[in-house]
Amino acid sequence: MDKLLVSPSPHLHTKTSTKSLMRDVVIALMPAVIVSFLFYGWSSMLLMAVSIASCLLVELFITRFLLKKPSTIADCSALVTGILLALNLPTATPWWVVFIGSVVAIGVAKMTFGGLGQNLFNPALVGRVFLLISFPTYMTNWTRPQGFIGGGLDALTGATPLGKVKELMSMDGATLTSIPEYMDLNYCDMLFYNIGGSAGEISAIALLLGFAYLLIRGVIKPHITLSIIMTVAVFSGIFWLIDPAQFTDPLFNILTGGLLLGAIFMATDYVTSPMSKTGGIVFGIGIGVITMLIRYFGAYPEGVSFAILIMNSVVPLLNKWFHTKKYGRA
């Protein structure tokens, strides 16, 4: 004891670090990643590899060569963005499109704002929406699963259930009962696999497993996710009860598209979601309502990404309006 350390209290510190939290998110994403590998095979593995590698490279390049600062890729946040971006893309997306998405996600949405913790919008979603607007053909080129399991179908391009519904319902006089893609859906199967869609949207169960892991490890709290899902259920439930021939049912809306992926992994992103519980619930309601407005009345078949990004922009306001409950100031 030649030299004793002296510092202000507290003298103990939790073992949880930014890195360990990010690692937990990666672990929670594993079921969805594995399912996408199994169903889509090599194409989804390639997609994942390109997305992760380019996200890490872009962050490394910007920190080391443009900012001339120590690299920050060790905090694993770019890794999470890479995985999430891949899970949000169709598996047939060409590698260079994925790379552009990574540049936008990390370079524009994250590093321009000052890096980890400073970005206003969810980086992976900015990347995805940029690609959706810039390369609509690639981004709606849904390959039927042709992986190691899933029926060994030939590579066929087809629309997602949401896309099909949107496409056919836009015709005059159409009703949902005339759409076999909607009528024949078996929700029990959809829990396990959901044909057509982004790499991460196949299996609701895989995503829910990840959700359970995040909750058990205390990485996130359930209020945002539940608020989104319940809002979607209530909103679509009301419309469906009014006219089931025109409006898709609540379970369909929860299980299809990117709703669970978005509600569990994208909307709960620490940086781009509100700090207080009340703020989080309002944030979730906003996402749910905007998603359903786009799905029912918008031009796009799917609206989760847009809804989250729109609500991201409201977060500073929500943080200003809603604060924690203080002791003795009720």
Partner 1 sequence: MMKTFSIGGIHPNDNKISKDCKIEVLPVPSKVFISVAQHLGAPATPVVKPGDQVKVGQVIAEPAGFISAYVHSSVSGTVKSVGPRQDLAGNNMTHIEIDVDGDEWVEGVDLTDTLVTAIPEDNKAILEKIKMCGVVGLGGATFPAHVKLCPPPGKVAECLILNGAECEPYLTSDNRIMLEKSKEIVVGAAIMKQVLGGCKTVIGIEENKPEAIKAMSAAVAELQKVGKSYEGISVMALKKKYPQGGEKQLIDAVMGRQVKSMGLPIDVGAVVQNVATSLAVYEAVQKNIPLITNVLTVTGNCLPMDKQHNYKFRIGMPLSYIAEYAGGVPEQAAKIISGGPMMGKAIANLDATTVKGSSSLLYLTAEQTVRGEESPCIRCGRCADACPMGLEPFLLQKYARHNMMDELEENAVQDCIECGCCLYSCPANIPLLDVIRIAKGDVIRIIRTRK
Alpha helix (H) residue ranges in the chain: 18-40, 42-61, 77-87, 95-102, 123-134, 136-139, 161-169, 180-183, 187-192, 204-216, 223-242, 250-255, 259-261, 277-297, 304-312, 315-321
**What would the x/- binding string for partner 1 be over residues 284 to 323, using CB under 8 A?**
---------------------------------------x
Residue 328 found at the interface with partner 1 (CB under 8 A):
yes
C-beta of 123: minimal distance to partner 1 in Å?
Answer: 13
User: Length of the chain, please?
Assistant: 330
Residue 134 found at the interface with partner 1 (CB under 8 A):
no
Residue 10 found at the interface with partner 1 (CB under 8 A):
yes
Q: How far apart are CA 200 and CA 257, in angstroms?
A: 10
Residue 73 found at the interface with partner 1 (CB under 8 A):
no
Residue 69 found at the interface with partner 1 (CB under 8 A):
no
Candidate residues 34, 156, 275, 317; the one interacting with partner 1 per rule CB under 8 A: 275
C-beta of 281: minimal distance to partner 1 in Å?
Answer: 14
Extract the tokens encoding 145. 């699963």
C-beta of 74: minimal distance to partner 1 in Å?
Answer: 10
CA distances from 10 to 1, 87, 244, 282, 326 (A): 21, 41, 59, 35, 22
Residue 7 found at the interface with partner 1 (CB under 8 A):
yes
Q: Of the candidates 260, 301, 262, which has an alpha carbon nearest to the alpha carbon of residue 159?
A: 301
* Only segment of 12-20, 96-104, 157-165, 248-256 that touches partner 1 (CB under 8 A): 12-20
* Interacting positions 105-124 with partner 1 (CB under 8 A): 115-118
Residue nearer to partner 1 on the CB measure, 134 or 324: 324
Compute CA 150 distance to the chain's CA centroid, rounded to the nearest angstrom. 23
Residue nearer to partner 1 on the CB measure, 188 or 330: 330
C-beta of 218: minimal distance to partner 1 in Å?
Answer: 9
Residue 186 found at the interface with partner 1 (CB under 8 A):
no
Residue nearer to partner 1 on the CB measure, 5 or 299: 5
Extract the tokens encoding 29. 């994403």
Count CB neighbours of 155 within 10 A: 10
Candidate residues 8, 137, 183, 299; the one interacting with partner 1 per rule CB under 8 A: 8
Q: Which residues contact 2 (CB under 8 A, 6 or more apart)?
A: none
Q: Of the candidates 268, 308, 302, 270, which has an alpha carbon nearest to the alpha carbon of residue 287?
A: 308
Give the residues lining the site for partner 1 (CB under 8 A). 1, 4-14, 16-18, 20-21, 75, 77, 115-118, 270-271, 275-276, 323-330
